[in-house]
Amino acid sequence: MAITLYSNGCPKCKILKQRLDEKKIAYLESNDTSFLEENKILSFPALAVDNKIYKFYNAILWLKNQKTEESHHE
């Protein structure tokens, strides 16, 4: 699974980054505004998971449905 966090360091960006780190999900971080503009995303943050792009609130929902690495060992 390829995951990219499009971030400019704003408070919402920091929340998404923290949640990704808490879930131990590997991701790349980018501040590429041209990618967001091409996909009609007008604000940071955005989370690209494979070919799907989530704005902040949907990214949070997506993250809630992801299992943490520790939960795989229970």
Tens digit of pLDDT for each residue in 35-46?
889 999 988 999
CA distance 9 to 1: 24
Question: In the chain, what are the domains?
Answer: 3-73 (3.40.30.10)
The answer to whether the CB of 36 falls within 8 A of the CB of 12 is: no
pTM of the prediction? 0.84
Tens digit of pLDDT for each residue in 18-39?
999 999 999 999 998 898 899 9
